Structure 1
Amino acid sequence: MLELSYDLIAMLVVAAFAAGFIDSIAGGGGLITVPALLLAGLPPAQALATNKVQGGFGAATAAITYARRGLVDPRKQLGSAAIAFAAGLCGALMVSYIPTQALGYILPVLLIGIAIFFALKPGLNDQDRAERMRPALFAAIVVPFIGFYDGLLGPGAGAFYMLGFVMLAGYGILKATAHTKLLNFASNLGGLTAFALVGQPLWLLGAMMAVAQIAGATLGSRLAMKIGAKVIKPLLVVTSTALALRLIWQMLA
């Protein structure tokens, strides 16, 4: 493992806990962990690969927690999860072939749009609305698109999944959050599979951060189930805006 001081490891563990908490509610955990890993001195490819290791545990924990409360039936999502896994795998394998810089210019605009949508659109609560796209069509079109992006870049994938469930599947905020997590886990796992071959993730560091991710995701998902849209909406707005601003800062730096 890369030689890291104990204080850096402690910083990364704390970052993973915060990321697990935020990601389980609104997505965007990578906004915290990827910069932390880079700050610790990991090369970009290794930072992304290690982030996939620990991030997958947080998404899986949130998915299990929501499923245990009956907010989502994982068995009904297995087909979509398989598509998300394959798409995430393909996205990660295409990192060196696709001009991701162009996507970097578009992503902040999309994230700010998501923040504005959830901040200003009236009637967004935990109640389901009219379905605009059948589940099979959603799995065939929306899931592979976001899953591919998750493997290719990653930041904001959870917010994109959630927006799809709210806008197209007609789910309420809490139900959309619950359905996002298994797909986020699957596309994350697909990306990790590819990165494990070329990105050389730091497995031990990833495992230590994963423990903190699990704790944060457990706490966050329980809070989301207790308060619902009242906590999910503002946190989604804040994380999407913060991620957009960070990406803009990176482009201007």
Structure 2
Amino acid sequence: MFELALDVVFLLILAAFAAGFIDAIAGGGGLITVPVLMLAGLPPAQALATNKVQGVFGAATAAISYAASGHVDLRRQLGAASVSFLAGLIGAFCVTLIPTEALRYLLPLLLIGIAAFFALKPGLGDADRTARISPLQFTAFVVPLIGFYDGLLGPGTGSFFMLGFVMLAGYGILRATAHTKLLNFASNLGGLVAFALVGKPLWITGLAMGVAQIAGAWVGSVLAMRVGARLIKPLLVVTSTALALKLLLDLV
């Protein structure tokens, strides 16, 4: 039934649960699932494609969970989500066309900067602040840029959306987390559509991991809503730093 041995699939399911939990709170679940998929023997393109299959379930679950608790109105986000989907789709199709080597060197620095921002900037909590740009400007300029990046490379997408919502839209930590999930789901879905055509994902294994993602994302989102910034901020700092370190090690 499964494309891989059952013991390997079981480990992948455990990794997907952990990734769904982390992603629902702070993003960075791909830091867990992509390396594990590659350790299972999948080539990079197939690992990324399978990761998109399971990742959309976790992001969708977190988005629905936050919406059901009143932290985000998904209907008001549909326009931005559509932009994110198209940007992710285009980014994934451009994987073989755009040189990304320079970006791979820049990414760790950006992620360390994000970690430092959330760790050191005073006054960051769950309360909203004054927005620097309008929702329309955010959708027109910030969303397509991050969505395109998610399709092209992907690591740290949730952190970049979080930073945009906090710094530019003026959202508090919990509200920014809630609004990140639908946009991350949409860019993931766009990337999945493209990768499904060229990357040949392992559908059955990916769907099994997706079920675990649902469970992990539900637990993570419930915990984040109960604790708020006191949990989200440190976990965001840890995941951004860990992802930066992994990317630096990959360059060595």
- Paired residue secondary structure (2:182): helix
Q: Which whole-Å deviations, capped at 9, do the CAs of 1:65-103 have from their partners, x for residues lacking one? A: 000000000010000000000000000000001111111
Instruction: Point out where structure 1 has 5 or more consecutive residues left out of the alignment.
Output: none
In the other structure, the counterpart of 2:59 is 59
1:120, distance to aligned residue in structure 2 (A):
0.3
Alignment of 1:70-219 (within 5 A): 70-219=70-219
Percent sequence identity over aligned pairs = 73
Cα distance in 2, alignment partners of residues 138 and 245 from structure 1 = 29
- Paired residue secondary structure (1:225): helix
- Paired residue secondary structure (2:42): coil
Cα distance in 1, alignment partners of residues 188 and 4 from structure 2 = 25
In the other structure, the counterpart of 1:35 is 35
Cα distance in 1, alignment partners of residues 125 and 110 from structure 2 = 22
CA RMSD of aligned residues (A): 0.8
Q: Which whole-Å deviations, capped at 9, do the CAs of 1:158-202 have from their partners, x for residues lacking one? A: 000010000000000000000000000000000000000000011
TM norm structure 2: 0.99
- Paired residue secondary structure (2:70): coil
Residue type of the partner of 1:12?
L
Cα distance in 2, alignment partners of residues 72 and 4 from structure 1 = 38
Cα distance in 1, alignment partners of residues 84 and 219 from structure 2 = 25
Residue type of the partner of 2:93?
L
TM norm structure 1: 0.98
In the other structure, the counterpart of 1:233 is 233
Residue type of the partner of 2:239?
T
Cα distance in 1, alignment partners of residues 248 and 27 from structure 2 = 19
**Judging changes above 3 Å, is the alpha-carbon distance between structure 1 residues 2 and 69 closer, same or farther for their aligned structure 2 residues?**
closer
- Paired residue secondary structure (2:41): coil
Cα distance in 2, alignment partners of residues 101 and 193 from structure 1 = 24
In the other structure, the counterpart of 1:244 is 244
Residue type of the partner of 2:112?
I
- Paired residue secondary structure (2:33): helix
**Judging changes above 3 Å, is the alpha-carbon distance between structure 1 residues 33 and 170 closer, same or farther for their aligned structure 2 residues?**
same
Cα distance in 2, alignment partners of residues 158 and 222 from structure 1 = 18
Cα distance in 1, alignment partners of residues 94 and 2 from structure 2 = 26
Cα distance in 2, alignment partners of residues 136 and 45 from structure 1 = 34
- Paired residue secondary structure (2:125): coil
**Judging changes above 3 Å, is the alpha-carbon distance between structure 1 residues 79 and 3 closer, same or farther for their aligned structure 2 residues?**
closer
Residue type of the partner of 2:19?
A
In the other structure, the counterpart of 2:49 is 49
Q: Which whole-Å deviations, capped at 9, do the CAs of 1:193-244 have from their partners, x for residues lacking one? A: 0000000011100000000000000000000000000000000000000000
Residue type of the partner of 2:235?
L
Residue type of the partner of 2:215?
A
Residue type of the partner of 2:77?
Q
Cα distance in 1, alignment partners of residues 237 and 72 from structure 2 = 23
Contact 2:3-2:202 at 8 Å conserved across structures: no
In the other structure, the counterpart of 2:25 is 25
1:45, distance to aligned residue in structure 2 (A):
0.4
Residue type of the partner of 1:33?
T
1:4, distance to aligned residue in structure 2 (A):
2.0
1:2, distance to aligned residue in structure 2 (A):
7.4
